[in-house]
Structure 1
Amino acid sequence: MTSQPLASPYLTLNEAAAFLRLAPRTLDNMRQRGTGPLYNKHGGRVRYHRDDLMAWADQSRRRTTTEKVPLAEARSGSKAVAD
């Protein structure tokens, strides 16, 4: 019986872009502006954790197309918690 290796939770740029259905260059640009998902560098290469991609996608959810995103939130990529 052979054991299968565990799938890594870390994705390459191309894998992360496909996961989010974005172009890799878009994800690159977002990372450089600080507006994209959190990332790690492993051996000098950018890797995205699946959980960070999901968290980033969830915080980008909106109810309407006119819902405003506070400028600080848009720049930091963080979401303010409402009371």
Structure 2
Amino acid sequence: MTTADRLLTVEQVAELLGTTVRFPRRLIAERRITFVKVGRHVRIPESVVTAYIDAHTVEPVMRGRRLRAVV
């Protein structure tokens, strides 16, 4: 997290992840993502969301087999 990081609301994080607000709220409750408390408000740094996406991205596995063409 950098000091120049944009702090996102839970709603903004949900939109970025393509989920409902329930998912980022669960990540926060389970302490699976870094967040900042500003009074009663919860904010998540944009770099943390990007790092979360990068850490949970699954790369495709290319095996030696070729796909058959559908005729």
**TM-score grouping bracket, smaller chain normalisation:** 0.5 to 0.7
Task: In structure 2, list runs of 5 or more residues that go unmatched.
Answer: 61-71
**Structure of greater Rg:** 2
RMSD: 2.0
Distance apart, 1:9 and its partner CA: 0.6
Structure with higher helix content: 1
Query: Which amino acid is the alignment partner of residue 52 of structure 1?
Result: V
The alignment's TM-score, normalised by the length of structure 1, stands at: 0.59
Query: Which amino acid is the alignment partner of residue 56 of structure 2?
Result: S
Distance apart, 1:40 and its partner CA: 0.6
1:31 aligns to 2:28 (yes or no): yes
1:61 aligns to 2:62 (yes or no): no
Q: Which has the higher contact order (CA 8 A, sep 6+)?
A: 2
- % identical aligned pairs: 20
State the number of aligned residues: 57
Query: Which amino acid is the alignment partner of residue 40 of structure 2?
Result: G
Partners of 2:34 and 2:53 in 1: CA distance: 11
